[in-house]
Amino acid sequence: MKQQRNTKQRKLVLDAVRARFDHPSADQIYLDVRTQDDNISRGTVYRNLNILFQTGEINQVKMPKSDRFESRLDKHYHLQCLECGELWDLPLDYNDDIDEQAAGKTGYIIHRHRTTFEGICPECQHKNTEQNE
């Protein structure tokens, strides 16, 4: 990888990812950073998110509509509400055993697995019962 420079923009993007815990999209990061620097462009935000991911300073979570970012670097699971779309970390241990099982069954070298739970959050459950009354 080529030599990296510390630009004001790169730092702003990194700080913006670290400031949130709701797995913002690139565009949300762009909007956040915009409040600090009203000249920064979307292209720069996308480029820096990619660079920071490649250098291992942030994590990228592939999601249906758009990629999401987070500052947690350890392997962990996610939980998404199918109604409101909110995405959270799940306090459940990463299961190393199934990586070995998968490797044994397939001959693949397994790097990891990614798990996302889908459901309805308490708020949306509440909203739904109200509607049906």
Partner DNA sequence: ATGGGTGCAAAGTGTTTGCAAGTAT
Partner DNA sequence: ATACTTGCAAACACTTTGCACCCAT
With tokens 């990614």, the residue in question is 114
For DNA (CB under 7 A), the number of binding residues is: 27
Q: Which of 38, 74, 118, 133 is close enough to bind its own copies by CB under 8 A?
A: 118
In angstroms, the CA 102 to CA 85 distance is 30
The token pair at 36 is 């600090």
| Count of residues engaged in binding its own copies, rule: CB under 8 A | 36
54: helix, coil or strand? helix
Strand locations in 28-70 (E) = 59-61, 68-70
Which stretch, 3-11, 16-24, 48-56, 99-107, contacts its own copies (CB under 8 A)? 99-107
* Residues 90-94: contacts with CB under 8 Å, at least 24 apart: 90/117
Between residue 77 and residue 106, which ones bind DNA under the rule CB under 7 A? none
85 binds, among DNA, its own copies, none (CB under 5 to 8 A by kind): none
Residues within the interface to DNA (CB under 7 A): 2-10, 25-27, 37, 39-44, 46-48, 50-51, 65-67
